[in-house]
Structure 1
Amino acid sequence: MKIVLYLVIVFNCFVGFAQENYSILSQKDRLRQYAGQWISAVNPSTDSVTKLPEIKMSSMNNFNNHSLTIKVSQKDSSNRYNPILYEIIGYDSVTDTVFAAGHNTQGVFFTGKGIFSSEKNWSMQDKDLDGNKIMKVDFNFQNYTDVILEGFDNDNNSLWKTRYIKSNPKDKNIGIQLVSVHKEMLKNPEETLIQLSRMGYSYVETFVYRDGSFYGYSPEEFKATVEKAGMQFLGSMTFFDPENKSDDALITNWWNNTIKDHIAAGVEYLSTSNNNIKNIKSLQELHAYCDYYNKIGKLCKDNGLKFIFHNHADEFLTIEGVRVYDYFLQNTNPEYVFFQTDLYWMHVAGVNPIEYYKKYPKRFISWHVKDYKELGASGKIDFKALFRYKKAAGLEYIVSEVEAYSFPPLFSAGLAWEYIYYELLK
């Protein structure tokens, strides 16, 4: 009797499944929600935006995330954007408050001081340089990409109200593995995808393909949902490990159906991983996997897709004195099989990816950029050094991934995009 292993969800590889209810506790970290590029909504009651919004705001991090430099511009009658406000907002560690100083185009200066009363609510009291109160501004975060601002006079009468929607740039083509926000995708996939798009992500990679569907959507439905959010569905991790690697009928049938579904979904590549390596005892068994990957790779190429092998740490074990990963690279056809470097798992295994990029150039077309905490926060992995070799590796798909959280997963996903965009792809 043939045993077929459907490796749909692998708990020991995707730590992200153990997500907890994290909070943003410090004033400094809460202020980071306001970082990014923002545009005004059509009106404060909706998150809809137009091609030419009335207001654009740039809010850039400074000094290890202690402050933000703000520039607000307004559209004129010629559809040109002119600055109307410059401001610096920062966290003061002495008073544990948020402090601001700024001026408008008329040269009127002001200062402000305030505090986050919760993750979602922030209030600032502005004063002129004589110390007179001039306006209080309340910020209400609807989520990490949507904030409503309202100004009040000294009698608490509303002066104005604006809604900003995050609109970070997509010019550097950064993707995200949706395991990073798995619980959020299960709860509300449409809203989650919209937030990821606003954060600046260009495309998504999934890992939940099963029985012809993605998160309960048909391939066509999921493609349409991702594109409606403003992204592309480019990659999918797929898991099928037949016991008999020579059963061509079984293999061809499963993968042809899988490829058909993914073509309908619009993806460019399929990837897989191997969670059976510790059970492999001989090079003969290892070679059977190489033949299997070559079969899959050829099927993918014949249908206009790329096939990519994703590593964890076990690939750097040895069998009969040969390192598994090296054997895979040497015994798979470069025309059919590419590789997806998981930078975190290579670091766990004590391996330097650069050595592989030098030895096997152009084969590592996708990277999972992942850290022990939020990207760049652990200080353990020299991502900047690795990214100097992206051309040698043949990197085409940069995939952000977060599996260990200090903050709510969606917030952490936003921080990951910022790190890749501003620090690694300068």
Structure 2
Amino acid sequence: MKTLIYIILFVNSFVSFAQENYRLSSQKDRLRQYSGQWVSAMNPSTDSVAKFPEIKMSSMNNFNNHSLTVEVFQKDNSNQYNPILYEIIGYDRVTDTVFAAGHNVQGAFFTGKGTFSSEKKWSMQDRDLNGNKTMKVDFNFQNNTDVILEGFDKNNNSLWKTRYIKNNPKNKNIGIQLVSVHDDMLKNPEQTLIQLGRMGYSYVETFVYKEGGFYGQSPEQFKVMVEKSRMKFLGSMTFFDPEDKNDDTAINSWWNKTIQDHKKAGVEYLSTSNSKLKGIKTIKELQEYCNYYNKVGKLCMENGLKFVYHNHADEFLKVEGVTVYDYFLQNTNPEYVYFQSDLYWMHVGGVNPVHYFKTYPNRFISWHVKDYKELGESGKIDFKDIFNYQKISGVQYILSEVEAYSFPPLFSVNLAWEYIYYELLK
């Protein structure tokens, strides 16, 4: 099966979801909002995009995110796209300004200099190579995936106005755990999902299954909302841990309803984790959990779903000399129970995930890829090496977590997409 790469930014269930009001303070960080693949909207007053947009733009990061290589293409009468502009836009640390140098299809070269007056507003003054002012361009970011541009002549008369909508590629099948943008989802789930789809995400995974629905939506409603954003509702984290693991009546009652609700939503798998492992003292208790997971996994399989166990760090504690995670792997039925390796929590737990992939090949249907801050920033986890072991692990869904933010969450999850797409999945 073709590997489905799924980014998930997940904070475990006992962590507070309160997020600080992070801001983009530096010119360099603000400029990164302009990275990605963009297309023009039908007109500046709407974010609707035609099947064949008039303009396509590629804006790629260079040199540790200090500059962008920008190429602009225009549609001709046969719906082919031809280059019309090429430029480098960068951040200059010495002057703390944004600069540009480029040329158009007629061969006219120009330079530009400007600043962000706020997180959302950026102005650039262009000049020809004789130093004469040519055009001023104002950029007004509506959000992380929507920016309005307007050009003015030297007398400040408007020359043109256009709107770019981010349209990053989905060919590497990257997804996201919606806990990463939990507050945004609570405020406006539809618009948040639209932004995520434009960033290049292909799938979502939830953790908020409650009263038979998701974010106040029925399973059918939420499925439609996700698909409208050009994504798929792929998976859901669910939590039910009965005191009596032999109470089949309670187990079947809760899980059968949960499974049916998720089938209506069109998901492929249900996942769970265990926050009670520190209290386990005997192998008998571990075996009771294995028996329970096998029951749930069998129910899921019989209903066309997969059941996935997600680890944190406590799985690498020992009970009567046996590592909990190894016991779970050895005593659950591979036909019923899949495993979701959380690479960050494995690192915290002091183990190398590659060891587990080699020891238990084909048991790990998915990974969670999380760092101590934004993905790839800490330097503590060698993600590039770990990604060499996708095949032996049996991974189908690769999930990433961001638990601590340096930037606004929607900005950070865009950085996460870029890291996975450009650095790990070359």
Q: TM-score range by the shorter chain?
A: over 0.9
Question: How far has the Cα of 1:399 moved from its partner?
Answer: 2.0
8 A contact 1:102–1:109 mirrored in 2: yes
Name the SS of the counterpart of 2:224 in structure 1.
helix
Residue of structure 1 equivalent to 2:319: 319
User: What letter matches 2:276 in structure 1?
Assistant: N
Deviations 1:16-36 (A, max 9, x none): 713110001111111000000
Bigger RCO of structures 1 and 2 (CA < 8 A, at least 6 apart): 2
8 A contact 1:297–1:337 mirrored in 2: yes
Residue of structure 2 equivalent to 1:285: 285
User: What letter matches 1:301 in structure 2?
Assistant: M
Aligned pairs for 1:104-143 (under 5 A) are: 104-143=104-143
Deviations 1:225-275 (A, max 9, x none): 000111000000000000000011110111010000000000000000000
Residue of structure 1 equivalent to 2:375: 375
CA distance in 2 between partners of 1:112 and 1:14 (Å): 49
Deviations 1:41-76 (A, max 9, x none): 000000000111000000000011010000000000
Deviations 1:75-120 (A, max 9, x none): 0001000000000000011111001000011110000000011110
Name the SS of the counterpart of 1:147 in structure 2.
strand
Question: How far has the Cα of 1:401 moved from its partner?
Answer: 2.1
CA distance in 2 between partners of 1:17 and 1:211 (Å): 20
Residue of structure 2 equivalent to 1:4: none
Residue of structure 2 equivalent to 1:242: 242
Residue of structure 2 equivalent to 1:347: 347
User: What letter matches 1:257 in structure 2?
Assistant: K
Name the SS of the counterpart of 1:139 in structure 2.
strand
8 A contact 1:194–1:229 mirrored in 2: yes
Residue of structure 2 equivalent to 1:404: 404
Name the SS of the counterpart of 1:42 in structure 2.
coil
8 A contact 2:11–2:402 mirrored in 1: no
Deviations 1:370-422 (A, max 9, x none): 11100001111111011111111111112232111000000000000000000
Aligned pairs for 1:147-186 (under 5 A) are: 147-186=147-186
Residue of structure 2 equivalent to 1:78: 78
* Runs of 4+ more than 2 Å apart: 10-16
Question: How far has the Cα of 1:210 moved from its partner?
Answer: 1.3
User: What letter matches 2:49 in structure 1?
Assistant: V
Residue of structure 1 equivalent to 2:386: 386
8 A contact 1:16–1:179 mirrored in 2: no
8 A contact 2:42–2:50 mirrored in 1: yes
Residue of structure 2 equivalent to 1:23: 23
Name the SS of the counterpart of 2:31 in structure 1.
helix
Unaligned runs of 5+ in 2: 1-9
CA distance in 2 between partners of 1:92 and 1:68 (Å): 12
CA distance in 2 between partners of 1:393 and 1:404 (Å): 27
Name the SS of the counterpart of 2:363 in structure 1.
coil
CA distance in 1 between partners of 2:382 and 2:421 (Å): 16
8 A contact 1:15–1:404 mirrored in 2: no
Residue of structure 1 equivalent to 2:6: none
Residue of structure 2 equivalent to 1:266: 266
8 A contact 2:11–2:179 mirrored in 1: no
8 A contact 1:16–1:404 mirrored in 2: no
Name the SS of the counterpart of 1:421 in structure 2.
helix
Name the SS of the counterpart of 2:122 in structure 1.
strand
Name the SS of the counterpart of 2:205 in structure 1.
strand
User: What letter matches 1:416 in structure 2?
Assistant: A
Name the SS of the counterpart of 2:190 in structure 1.
helix
8 A contact 1:367–1:397 mirrored in 2: yes
Residue of structure 2 equivalent to 1:193: 193
User: What letter matches 2:78 in structure 1?
Assistant: S
User: What letter matches 1:165 in structure 2?
Assistant: I
Name the SS of the counterpart of 1:370 in structure 2.
strand
CA distance in 2 between partners of 1:184 and 1:28 (Å): 24
Aligned pairs for 1:28-67 (under 5 A) are: 28-67=28-67
User: What letter matches 1:109 in structure 2?
Assistant: F
Judged with a 3 Å threshold, the aligned counterparts in structure 2 of structure 1 residues 31 and 14 are, in CA distance, closer, same or farther, namely: farther
User: What letter matches 1:292 in structure 2?
Assistant: Y
Judged with a 3 Å threshold, the aligned counterparts in structure 2 of structure 1 residues 407 and 283 are, in CA distance, closer, same or farther, namely: same
Name the SS of the counterpart of 1:365 in structure 2.
strand
CA distance in 2 between partners of 1:289 and 1:331 (Å): 10
User: Identity, % of aligned pairs?
Assistant: 78
CA distance in 1 between partners of 2:14 and 2:48 (Å): 35
Residue of structure 2 equivalent to 1:275: 275
1:214 aligns to 2:214 (yes or no): yes
User: What letter matches 2:90 in structure 1?
Assistant: G
Name the SS of the counterpart of 2:47 in structure 1.
coil
Name the SS of the counterpart of 2:364 in structure 1.
coil
TM-score scaled by length of structure 1: 0.97
Judged with a 3 Å threshold, the aligned counterparts in structure 2 of structure 1 residues 175 and 380 are, in CA distance, closer, same or farther, namely: same
Residue of structure 2 equivalent to 1:223: 223
User: What letter matches 1:195 in structure 2?
Assistant: Q
